[in-house]
Amino acid sequence: MIIDRRVVITVVCFALSCGFSSTAYAISSQAVNKSDMTNAVDSTGENKWIQAGDIRIGYRSYGSGDPLLMIMGYGATMNLWETALIERLASRYQVIVFDNRGMGETDAGTVDFSIEQFADDCAGLLDGLGIARAHVLGWSMGAMIAQQLVLQHPAKVESLILYAGECNVTMFPASQAVMQKITDTTGTPEQRGMRFISTLFPPAWISANGNRIKEIFYRPMGNTPSDIIGRQAEAIGRWKGSCSKLAEMNKRTLLLCGDKDVLVPPANSNYLSMKLPDAKLMMIKKGGHGIMFQFPKEFCTEVLTFLE
């Protein structure tokens, strides 16, 4: 049986939201009046909001220096970014993380969800913050959005970092075995969550890092509505990809991936490295889809070396 990766993305979200405990990915119990928040950029990492088109975008800013916009992937909020990653990058750059439309602290708005719209949201955030140009890092779905940002708003992108990126979700898909694993809805919530986590990291790393996995996935993720995640999945499914436009993406680009990534196989990054005009490929050995959690020091070193 052939399983379309675009169709099963919603099941992946189910596994994520039903992971280790009932408190993981829960909606925060502390209500915040967004209208009371200032739009000014600061470096404290506090939640702030800014108007961008039809939505108010929740974001945080850390550090100072040239701006680095980080775009989260599918089904998660800005809370999932690795803390060590943010801290080290913020020692040299103004790191801006935010919630995609409808997730976490960001409004869903009134327009249709699409990768193109998500890219416009990013541009609106930068405009609202008074940032004319930024380095951009996107993870997985965030890498799709980053590519669209370059195509739709090229003047806003100084350089590009595509972490677990791909130019078309059907070109080098995950294997049948992986798809079967993430579409299996049997068992307890913990069992379903562990099946999904087994696709994020290589087996040997999982066996040796049980406490680290709990540290990553027990953190509260904030507001992650299932209907919004479904709309994200539909947006990914409708995305026509960027493969035919890669030659237009003439930004310095770093491609980061793990050589053991089974969700977005490294063949995708390898293909991008051959087709983009100015790209460097860094494939981290023994790394899965979650290399920023497995190897935060190596990940940061590659990013900082590229940016400098």
Residue-wise pLDDT for 32-79, tens only, equals: 333 332 333 445 589 999 999 999 999 999 999 999 999 999 989 999
- Which residues, at least 6 apart from 228, have a Cβ–Cβ distance to it below 8 Å? 101, 102, 103, 108
Mean pLDDT of 95-104: 98
CATH for 155: 3.40.50.1820
pLDDT at residue 160 is higher than 90: yes
pLDDT at residue 300 is higher than 70: yes
Mean pLDDT of 167-178: 94
List residues bridging with 163 in a β-sheet.
139, 256
Stronger pLDDT, 258 or 22, i.e. the higher one? 258
pLDDT at residue 6 is higher than 90: no
pLDDT at residue 13 is higher than 50: no
Average pLDDT, the chain: 87
**Is residue 185 very low, low, confident or very high in pLDDT (cuts 50, 70, 90)?**
confident
Stronger pLDDT, 198 or 21, i.e. the higher one? 198
- The sign of the dihedral angle between the CA atoms of 220, 222, 223, 225 is negative
Q: What is d(CA 5, CA 21) in angstroms, rounded to the nearest whole number?
A: 26
Q: Which of 14-23, 42-51, 124-133, 232-241 has the lowest mean pLDDT?
A: 14-23
For 2, the token pair is 């052939």
Stronger pLDDT, 172 or 194, i.e. the higher one? 172
Phi/psi at 69 (5° precision): -90, 125
Mean pLDDT of 197-219: 91
Mean pLDDT of 108-113: 97
- Which residues, at least 6 apart from 121, have a Cβ–Cβ distance to it below 8 Å? 52, 53, 55, 57, 100, 101
Encode 74-103: b = buried (16+ Cβ within 10 Å), e = exposed. bbbbbbbbbeebbebbbebbbbbbbbbbbb
pLDDT at residue 240 is higher than 70: yes
CB 144 within 8 A of CB 268: no
Query: In the prediction, which pLDDT does 44 show?
Result: 58
pTM over 0.85: yes
Query: In the prediction, which pLDDT does 191 show?
Result: 83
Count of the separate structural domains present in the chain: 1
CB 183 within 8 A of CB 157: no
Query: Residue 76's domain spans which residues?
Result: 5-307
- Which residues, at least 6 apart from 84, have a Cβ–Cβ distance to it below 8 Å? 296, 297, 300
Mean pLDDT of 191-217: 90
HEC string for the chain: CCCCHHHHHHHHHHHHHCCCCCCCCCCCCCCCCHHHCCCCCCCECCCEEEEECCEEEEEEEECCCCEEEEECCCCCCHHHCCHHHHHHHCCCCEEEEECCCCCCCCCCCCCCCCHHHHHHHHHHHHHHCCCCCEEEEEECHHHHHHHHHHHHCHHHEEEEEEECCCCCCCCCCCCHHHHHHHHCCCCCHHHHHHHHHHHHCCHHHHHHCHHHHHHHHCCCCCCCCHHHHHHHHHHHHHCCCCHHHHHHCCCCEEEEEECCCCCCCCHHHHHHHHHCCCEEEEEECCCCCCHHHHCHHHHHHHHHHHHC
Stronger pLDDT, 21 or 252, i.e. the higher one? 252
Query: In the prediction, which pLDDT does 50 show?
Result: 97
Mean pLDDT of 192-216: 91
Q: How many CB atoms lie within 10 A of CB 132?
A: 11
Mean pLDDT of 78-105: 96
pLDDT at residue 131 is higher than 50: yes
Above pLDDT 70, what percent of the chain?
A: 86
Query: In the prediction, which pLDDT does 194 show?
Result: 85
Mean pLDDT of 111-132: 98
Stronger pLDDT, 40 or 232, i.e. the higher one? 232
pLDDT at residue 302 is higher than 70: yes
Q: Which of 26-40, 254-268, 283-297 has the lowest mean pLDDT?
A: 26-40
pLDDT at residue 18 is higher than 90: no
